[in-house]
Chains A and B, each alone.
Chain A
Amino acid sequence: MKRLLDVLREECGLTGTKEGCGEGECGACTVLIEGVPVNSCLVPFAHARGARVTTIEGLNGSHPLQETFVSEGGAQCGICTPGMILAATVLPGDAELEEIRTALAGNICRCTGYEGIYRAIRAAARARPRQGDPQPASRAEPGADAER
Chain B
Amino acid sequence: MPAVGRNVLRKEGTGKVTGAARYVDDLSFPGMLHGTTVRSTVASGRIRAIRLEFDPSGFVVADARDVPGRNVVALIEDDQPCLADGRVRHVAEPILLLAHERRESLLDARVAIDYEEEPPVFDPAASPRVFKEISIVKGDLARGFEAADQIVEGEYVTGLQEQLYIEPNGVIAVPENGGMTVYGSLQCPYYVHKALVVLLGLPPEKVRVVQTETGGGFGGKEEYPSILAGHAAILARKAGRPVKMVYDRVEDMLATTKRHPSVVRHKTGVRRDGRIVAMDVDVLLDGGAYVTLSPVVLSRGVLHATGPYRCDAVRIHGRVTMTNTPPNGAFRGFGAPQTQFAAEVHMERIAEALGMDPVRLRETNLFRPGDTTATGQTLGEDCSAGAVLRAAVERTDFDRRRRELAGSSSGIGLSLFFHGSGFTGGGEVRLASRASLELTATGARILVGSTEIGQGTRTIHAQIVADALEIPYDSVEVCEADTGLVPDSGPTVASRTCMVVGKILENCALEMKRRLGSLSPARYLALHGPLVVTREYEKPAELAWSDETYRGDAYGAYGWGCNVAEVVRDPDTYEVRPVRLTAVCEIGKAIHPVLAAGQVEGGTAQGIGYALLEEVVVRDGRMANAQMTNYLVPTTLDTPPIDVILLENPYFYGPHGAKGIGEMPIDGPAPAIVNAIRHLGLDVREIPATPERILGAPCISR
Write the B570-612 contact mask toward A (1 if CB under 8 angstroms, else 0): 0000000000000000000000001101100111111000000
Q: For chain B, which range describes its interface: under 10, 10 to 19, 20 to 34, or 35 or more residues?
A: 35 or more
Instruction: Give complex CA distance A61, B18 in Å.
Output: 5
The chain B residue sitting closest to A112, CB to CB, is B602
Interface members, chain A 55-89 (any B CB < 8 Å): 55-57, 59, 61, 65-67, 69-73, 75-82, 85
- A16 near B215 (CB under 8 angstroms)? no
Q: Counting CB contacts under 8 A, is B216 at the interface?
A: yes
Instruction: Give complex CA distance A118, B233 in Å.
Output: 42
- B13 near A75 (CB under 8 angstroms)? yes
- B636 near A114 (CB under 8 angstroms)? yes
Q: Counting CB contacts under 8 A, is B637 at the interface?
A: yes
The chain B residue sitting closest to A59, CB to CB, is B18
The chain A residue sitting closest to B215, CB to CB, is A79
The residue that B639 contacts in the complex, of A20, A61, A113, with Cβ under 8 A, is A113
- B594 near A72 (CB under 8 angstroms)? yes
Instruction: Give complex CA distance A16, B627 in Å.
Output: 23
CB distance from A35 to the nearest CB of B (A): 18
Contacts of B168 in A (CB 8 A): 20
CB distance from B453 to the nearest CB of A (A): 6
- B249 near A110 (CB under 8 angstroms)? no
CB distance from A17 to the nearest CB of B (A): 7
The residue that A23 contacts in the complex, of B16, B453, B628, with Cβ under 8 A, is B628
Contacts of A57 in B (CB 8 A): 18-19
Q: For chain A, which range describes its interface: under 10, 10 to 19, 20 to 34, or 35 or more residues?
A: 35 or more
- A20 near B166 (CB under 8 angstroms)? yes
- B454 near A73 (CB under 8 angstroms)? no
Instruction: Give complex CA distance A54, B22 in Å.
Output: 19
Contacts of B601 in A (CB 8 A): 73, 112-116
- B21 near A116 (CB under 8 angstroms)? no
Instruction: Give complex CA distance A70, B243 in Å.
Output: 33
Given contacts A61-B18, A71-B9, contact A78 B213 (CB under 8 A): yes
- A77 near B598 (CB under 8 angstroms)? no
Q: Counting CB contacts under 8 A, is B298 at the interface?
A: no
The residue that A110 contacts in the complex, of B216, B597, B637, with Cβ under 8 A, is B216
- A110 near B165 (CB under 8 angstroms)? yes
- B633 near A70 (CB under 8 angstroms)? no
Instruction: Give complex CA distance A55, B14 in Å.
Output: 16
The chain B residue sitting closest to A70, CB to CB, is B13
The residue that A28 contacts in the complex, of B163, B166, B597, with Cβ under 8 A, is B166
The residue that B605 contacts in the complex, of A18, A22, A100, A114, with Cβ under 8 A, is A114
Q: Counting CB contacts under 8 A, is B69 at the interface?
A: no
13 pairs of residues in contact across A and B, judged by CB atoms under 8 Å: A14-B19, A56-B18, A65-B17, A70-B14, A73-B594, A75-B17, A76-B216, A77-B166, A78-B15, A79-B167, A82-B17, A108-B633, A110-B165
Closest 8 A/B residue pairs (Cβ): A16-B19, A78-B16, A79-B215, A77-B454, A113-B605, A76-B454, A70-B13, A113-B601
